[in-house]
Amino acid sequence: MFNDSTPPYWSSKVSPTLPSKGETSCVPAPPCCSSQRRYHYFLVLDFEATCDKPQIHPQEIIEFPILKLNGRTMEIESTFHMYVQPVVHPQLTPFCTELTGIIQGMVDGQPSLQQVLERVDEWMAKEGLLDPSVKSIFVTCGDWDLKVMLPGQCQYLGLPVADYFKQWINLKKAYSFAMGSWPKNGLLDMNKGLNLQHIGRPHSGIDDCKNIANIMKTLAHRGFIFKQTSKPF
């Protein structure tokens, strides 16, 4: 498993000043600065997967959300969101439902992972993200989603992993470099450190994506420049 303590591979011009307690969590868009802009779009992703205590194997993705974030305005321009039917462990455990809020009826009859990946590719094409002149990168809260979960399930099912899933920004690393502290509790710590309201339900994939986007917008407004943190495959 990837070690989250690996030194970061990005730069920053972020101000360490925290907002006052009365400051709103709605952050104005940062001004355009083309000389600092590395990506046209950020693709915010956060999987939810089958789970239990003790953990079941293999885990399977059951929620697949992506937010397309404009790299200049940091506003959400498009959303991809699908639930996925698990096949190895088709019945969700009570632990999984309690943690994620996903009930059995939300995954029954939904597309398989292979079908969802095909629709992701169609969405990427429709949004112009497959154009070689358009620079985009995925953003996740940790390395698990794209370092472990997706490649692991694809290997189990004999599915290829698209190249665009093989590089990403780990928001935990970006935040720790910008703010000088490691967010042990992930999004909860990052929202607290930036005085932001938590959006929605923890461990809802789509809500977690919205929180990631809000944290990114806050850091970008302060001058932080996001760079890839994953190592080449």
Residues with active-site annotation:
48, 203
Long-range pairs for 121-127: beta carbons < 8 A, 24 or more residues apart? 121/162, 123/66, 123/78, 123/80, 124/164, 127/68, 127/77, 127/78
DSSP of 93-140:
PHHHHHHH---HHHHTTPPPHHHHHHHHHHHHHHTTTT-TTS-EEEEE
DSSP alpha helix (H) spans, the chain: 94-100, 104-107, 113-126, 150-157, 171-179, 187-193, 205-221
- Kindly state the tokens that stand for 73: 């305005």
Residue with token string 């011009």: 13
Please give the backbone phi and psi of residue 25, each rounded to the nearest 5 degrees, phi first: -85, -5
Taken in order 180, 183, 187, 193, the sign of the CA dihedral is: negative
Distance CA 211, CA 162 (A): 25
